[in-house]
Amino acid sequence: MDPVTMKGSQILLECLQREGVDVLFGYPGGALTDVYDELSRSPLRHILVRHEQAGVHAADGYARATGRVGVCLFTSGPGATNTITGIATAYADSIPMVILTGQVPTLLIGNDAFQEVDIVGITRPCTKHNYLVKNVKDLTLILRQAFFLARSGRPGPVLVDLPKDVLQGHTEFVWPEEIRMRSYNPTYRPNLNQLRRAAGALIAARKPLFLTGGGVIMSDAAGELRTLARTLHVPVTSSLMGLGAFPGDDPLWIGMVGMHGTFTANTAMHNTDLLVAVGVRFDDRVTGRVADFAPNAAIVHIDIDPTSIRKNVAVDIPVVGDCKRALAGLLEILSPRLAEKDWHFAHGDWLAAVAGWNAMHPLSYDTGEEIKPQEVIRAVCEITKGKAIIATEVGQNQMWAAQFYTFREPRTLLTSGGLGTMGYGFPAAIGAQLGLPDALVIDFAGDASIQMNIQELATAVANRLPVKIIILNNMYLGMVRQMQELFYNRNYNSTNMESQPDFVKLAEAYGAQGYRITKRDKLEPVLRAALASPDTAVIDVHIAREENVYPMVPSGASLEEMLLI
Ligand SMILES: Cc1ncc(C[n+]2csc(CCOP(=O)(O)OP(=O)(O)O)c2C)c(N)n1
Ligand SMILES: [Mg+2]
C-alpha cells in the first residue's frame, strides 16, 4: 500500500491505536487544540480528568490493574508541570506509562513563550526516558520507541513532548513493524550458572525465605512463585508492592515485611539462612537499618535491572533477568532433585518456628467502643470475599489496608509504594475501573489524602464509574500524628484536621452517593449497601482517632526492634 500523508495530530492517534491503547486520560489546552479536534473523530476513549496530576495517577492505576501501558495527554506549561508528582509516583514504582505533553511551536522554544516550560528537562530525573519531537517525520518512530521503552525491561514512565507545529505538520505515515534500539537491551534470560548456584543454595538451605516485590507482579511470575514456594515448603513475605503475588490465605504466607510488617515476617527475616529476593529493590522501608538486615542469610537477588542489584544490600548470588523466566528456570533445574527430600520435613523446624511467631504476635488490635480502622478493612474484605481491586491513599489507611485486607491475586492492590503520594488512590481507582469495568474498585482513604484529588468525583460521576471511597476518618494526618505521639512527646503540631468538610454533603454536591458511619452496629449493613450501589460513593467512617499502626520499626532501627501493641 502506498504511504498516505497525514497530519501530526492524526499520526499521534493512529500510533496510539496501533499500540493497543483504548483509553487515555487528559486535559486540553492551547498547545493541544489540533489533537482534541482529531480526538472527536477517533474511536479512542478520552477521559477528561479535573486535574493533570490525577490524570497521571489514573493512567497509572489503569496500568497497574490491567498490566497494559497507561496513557495520558496534557497541555504545555502548567498542564505539564502539574503532572510531575504523578510521573515521579509511577517512576518510583516502575509503572509502564506514556505521558504526552503539548509544547509551544519549535520556533518559539527557548523564547519564554506563553505556557512554555522545559518539561523534558524537568522530568529527566523521574522518567525512564523522555523525548522532544522536533520534526513530524520523527513522530511515529519516537512514539513507537516510547511504548517499547515503557513496557520492556524494568518498566517505567516515558514522556513525549509534542510542539504545536509538529502536531500541525504533515508527513507520510510509515509504521515500523519492528522496534530495536541500539544501547538498550534488557536482559530477560538469566545466566544459567547463576541460576544453578541459586538452585543449589535453595536445596541446601535450612531456613529459606522468599521476599517478593512488585517485579513478581509486573513480570507475571506469581504462578511460578506459588509453585516453587509450595513445592519446597518455603515461607513467603513481600514488600508493599509485592502484595497479592502470593495468596494472603496460604499457610506459607507470613505477611508483609518492613516498617509496618508482621512480627513473623520481620523475625523470619532476622533468622533466615537464605533469602531469595525476587523483583524487589530493598527500599529502606523494607530493610530497616541495612547493617542489621537479614544478618544470618545468604542473599539471592533476582531482578531485571542490574543497577538495583547490590545498590542497597550486599548480595551473594545475583541473577539478572526477568523474574518469571528466572523462577521458571529454578523450577526446571530443581525438578529432577525434588524427590530427594521430603521438603516439608526438611524445613520442619523452620516452619515450626514461623508458626510459633505467628501464634505469639498475630496481627491484632484492641477493640473498644469506637470503630477501629482494622475492623473496617476486615469487614470490607469479608463482604468482598477479598475479590475487590483495592486502591489506597497514603498514611495509616494505606498500612492498615496492606495489613488487614487479604490480597489473593496480583494486580489487586494499587498503592504508591516508592513515593508515598497522598492523593494517589482515588484517581488510580478511576483508572482501574476504566480498565476493568466489571470489577469492584475501592479506595481506602485518609480524611486528608482524599482531599488532595477530591475534584475527581466529577470525573467519576460524569463517567458513571461505581468507584467506592471508604474514608478511615480520624480527623488527623494520622501517620504523622503517630510519629508525634511516639517520638515527639505528643506535640500534635499541624496534624489536627478537625475542620474537615462534611464528606457526605461533598459527595452529594458532586452527584455521588454519600454515607456516614459512626456506630459499630451500622458498619456492616451500611458498607454492604454502599458497596452494592451502582453509583460513585463516598463512605465516611469515623474511627478511633488515635489508633496507631503496629508493629512499627522506628526509622533507622533494625527489623528486630519492633514496637508491638
Ligand atoms: C503529597 C504528600 N504530602 C505529604 C505527605 C506526608 N504524609 C504521609 S502520611 C500523611 C498523613 C495522611 O493523613 P490521612 O490521609 O488522613 O491518612 P491517615 O494517616 O490519617 O490514615 C502525611 C501528611 C505525603 N505522603 N504525601
Ligand atoms: Mg487521617
Quickly tell me which residue has 505556557 as its cell.
115
Q: What is the pLDDT of residues 142-163, one digit of tens each?
A: 999 999 999 999 999 999 999 9
Active site residue 398: no
Q: What is the pLDDT of residues 109-133, one digit of tens each?
A: 999 999 999 999 999 999 999 999 9
C-alpha cell belonging to residue 460: 467519576
Residues 194, 319 contacting (CB under 8 angstroms): yes
Active site residue 451: no
**Which region, left, alpha or beta, applies to residue 545 given φ > 0 means left and ψ of -120 to 50 means alpha?**
alpha
Distances (CA, A) of 416 to 202, 303, 384, 392, 402: 32, 20, 22, 8, 12
Residue 2 predicted with pLDDT over 80: no
Residue 484 predicted with pLDDT over 80: yes
Residue 409 predicted with pLDDT over 90: yes
477 Cβ inside 6 Å of ligand 1: yes
What value does the mean pLDDT take over residues 59-70?
98
C-alpha cell belonging to residue 123: 522530568
| Dist. CA 411 → ligand 2 center (Å) | 25
pTM above 0.85, yes or no: yes
- Of 19, 38, 52, 224, the catalytic one is 52
- Of 479, 503, 552, 562, the catalytic one is 479
Triad 494, 496, 497: Cα angle to 5°: 115
C-alpha cell belonging to residue 326: 528466572
Q: Which residues surround ligand 2, an ion (CB under 5 A)?
A: 446-447, 474, 476, 478
Predicted confidence at residue 206, as pLDDT, reads 98
Q: What is the Cα–Cα distance from 6 to 27, expressed in whole angstroms? A: 24
**Which region, left, alpha or beta, applies to residue 96 given φ > 0 means left and ψ of -120 to 50 means alpha?**
beta
Predicted confidence at residue 48, as pLDDT, reads 98
Residues 208, 340 contacting (CB under 8 angstroms): no
Active site residue 482: no
Which residue type occupies 59? Answer: A
What value does the mean pLDDT take over residues 73-87?
98
Mutate to test the pocket of ligand 1, among 403, 415, 479 (most ligand atoms within 8 A of CB): 479
What value does the mean pLDDT take over residues 365-374?
96
Percent of the chain having pLDDT more than 90? Answer: 98
Predicted confidence at residue 1, as pLDDT, reads 60
Mean pLDDT estimate for the chain: 97
**Which region, left, alpha or beta, applies to residue 112 given φ > 0 means left and ψ of -120 to 50 means alpha?**
left
Which residue type occupies 522? Answer: K
Q: What is the Cα–Cα distance from 322 to 304, expressed in whole angstroms? A: 5
Closest by Cα among 322, 318, 288 to 215: 322
Q: What is the pLDDT of residues 179-234, one digit of tens each?
A: 999 999 999 999 999 999 999 999 999 999 999 999 999 999 999 999 999 999 99
Report strand pairing: 298-303 vs 274-278: parallel
Mutate to test the pocket of ligand 1, among 57, 392, 416, 422 (most ligand atoms within 8 A of CB): 422
The SS3 call for residue 433 is helix
Residue 325 predicted with pLDDT over 90: yes
Q: What is the Cα–Cα distance from 303 to 309, expressed in whole angstroms? A: 7
pLDDT confidence band for 3 (50 / 70 / 90): confident
What value does the mean pLDDT take over residues 294-299?
98
pLDDT confidence band for 244 (50 / 70 / 90): very high
474 Cβ inside 6 Å of ligand 1: yes
Other CB atoms within 10 Å distance of the CB of residue 374: 22
CA torsion 354-358-359-364 (nearest 10°) is 170
448 Cβ inside 6 Å of ligand 1: yes
Residues 24, 16 contacting (CB under 8 angstroms): yes
pLDDT confidence band for 340 (50 / 70 / 90): confident
For residue 99, the surrounding DSSP H or E stretch is strand 97-103
Query: Who contacts 258 (Cβ-Cβ below 8 Å, separation ≥6)?
Result: 239, 240, 265, 266, 283, 285, 286, 287, 288, 553, 559
80 Cβ inside 6 Å of ligand 1: no
Question: Which segments within 304-356 are labelled E, that is strand?
Answer: 317-320
Q: What is the Cα–Cα distance from 558 to 409, expressed in whole angstroms? A: 30
547 Cβ inside 6 Å of ligand 1: no
| Dist. CA 372 → ligand 2 center (Å) | 13
446 Cβ inside 6 Å of ligand 1: yes
What value does the mean pLDDT take over residues 386-408?
97
The SS3 call for residue 465 is coil
Residues 208, 330 contacting (CB under 8 angstroms): no
